[in-house]
Chain A
Amino acid sequence: MNEPGDKLSRAYRDLAREEPPSALDASILAASARALRRPSASRRWAVPVSIAAVFVLALGLTLEMQREQPGIETSAPAAGSIPPRAVAPQPAPLPQAEAPVTQSVPEAPRSQERARPSPKPQLSKPRDKLEAVAPQRKDTAIREEAAPAPAVAAPQAASPAPQAFPTQVNVAPLPAAAGAVGSMQAPPATAADMQRPSAESQSLKRMAPAAPAAAKVRTADDRELQLERIAQLRVQGRNAEADKALEEFRRANPDYRIPEAMWERVKPR
């Protein structure tokens, strides 16, 4: 646009030699040092806000998982890890399993509850709990193998679940039962189990790229909302509050350009 050595630039350099007064320098430097000594509001709130955000995120993910695949957050690991062990080592005890079928029906939710905290009950559970968990699984597995019984037993095993996990069942009870029982018996169900994480990851992937854009929109919306609130204060004649709010807004958003129309509504009166 213009060379550093041209006449206009040289003339301007000769003209413009003013510097801020040293008292002003000292005041600004002191303010900068003071600002470092007291933590800024954003830093003060950083830790509590982060913790709250983690909780909200965890809760949100759990609810999302429950909504998409009810029961996955509790029963999937236990159910997925058991079937090969339950079915493979005991191919023969079909006759013995006939009796527990009726007994095991009301036991189903309790055993599921016990199985939930530990995916490997054989290693960590006491003997009585181990027995309570393991036979139940065997029963279920065996029932599925026996031809006529499983069709009846599976819905029965699933039916007490609504009492134990009412929120899950209210949303979608049938897929949970089908998935939980099905995963213990046959390859198609196992494949369905394996699809669950991918369905979740797809839903997360869908959410991920939208996040920064959403945050940007949220920030813009927040600013507009704040300005709208200030405008409302002006309308209500609460000018002192509006002045204060506008000053705070300006301090928080020094590089935000207030649109002309909005400025007319929020400007100091």
Chain B
Amino acid sequence: MLAYAGGDARAFETLYGRHKGALYRYVLRSVKTGGEAEELFHDVWLRAIEARARYTPQAKFTTWLYTIAHNRLVDHWRTRGLTVVSADEDESVPEPAAPPSSQPHLQLEARRTLERLAAALAALPLAQREAFLLHQEAGLGPAEIAQATGANEEAAKSRLRYAMSKLKEAIGDE
């Protein structure tokens, strides 16, 4: 980010390439609808671009980026009265790709597992889901999750533990 702020456009391309997928999925699973996710994703990156001169490497770039994303999401939720869009809307999350398997019954089982996981993830309370997504997608630990979401570390750790426990239960991995 410092290189980009210094005028190196390619540095941003590298950063973007590294983080775009994870950030997109984090936003997508936080709002559920593709249209909203794209709008918010775009907005988060624009804010990061505009704030480039104020970026200081006190924290990891990832934490900084997800702090911006979290704040944008919070604004989004607040303007909608904190209601989470239901999962059965028209613009729902695309069907996950099935894992490659040549055996139909294994393929079916894997698909069911993914469906259960997707449902359990969607059913998680907002804060727990966010903690899980930040952990899985951004690779953040409890301390960094706490930093990005403005929670204390114990709360972040607890949210993550609860989320993983519920998800493991959903996929039969206890």
Closest Cβ–Cβ distance, residue A212 to chain B (whole Å): 13
Closest Cβ–Cβ distance, residue B10 to chain A (whole Å): 10
Closest A residue to B45 by CB, please name it: A28
Interface of A is mostly: helix
Chain B residues positioned under 8 Å from A9 (CB to CB): 136
Query: A126 interface residue, CB < 8 Å from B?
Result: no
Mark contacts of B158-174 with chain A using CB atoms, 8 A cut-off: 1 yes-contact digit, 0 otherwise.
00110010011001010
Q: How far is the CA of A8 from the CA of B166 in the complex (A)?
A: 11
Query: B50 interface residue, CB < 8 Å from A?
Result: yes
Chain B residues positioned under 8 Å from A261 (CB to CB): none
B97:A20 contact, CB within 8 angstroms: no
B46:A31 contact, CB within 8 angstroms: yes
Q: Number of residues in A with C-beta < 8 Å to the partner?
A: 40
Chain A residues positioned under 8 Å from B32 (CB to CB): none
Q: How far is the CA of A15 from the CA of B42 in the complex (A)?
A: 23
Query: B84 interface residue, CB < 8 Å from A?
Result: no
Give the total number of A-B pairs whose CB atoms are below 8 A apart: 124
Q: Number of residues in B with C-beta < 8 Å to the partner?
A: 58
Mark contacts of A11-35 with chain B using CB atoms, 8 A cut-off: 1 yes-contact digit, 0 otherwise.
1101111111100110111011101
Q: How far is the CA of A18 from the CA of B31 in the complex (A)?
A: 14
Query: B33 interface residue, CB < 8 Å from A?
Result: no
Query: B154 interface residue, CB < 8 Å from A?
Result: no
Taking A24-B41, A25-B20, A250-B47 as known contacts, 13 extra A-B pairs with beta carbons closer than 8 A to each other, sorted by chain A number, are A1-B135, A1-B160, A11-B171, A15-B96, A16-B25, A17-B97, A31-B45, A32-B45, A32-B49, A42-B53, A43-B53, A255-B68, A255-B71
Q: What are 11 residue pairs bridging A and B, where the CB atoms are less than 8 Å apart in the complex? A: A16-B25, A16-B136, A17-B96, A25-B16, A32-B49, A40-B53, A251-B47, A255-B64, A255-B71, A257-B71, A263-B78
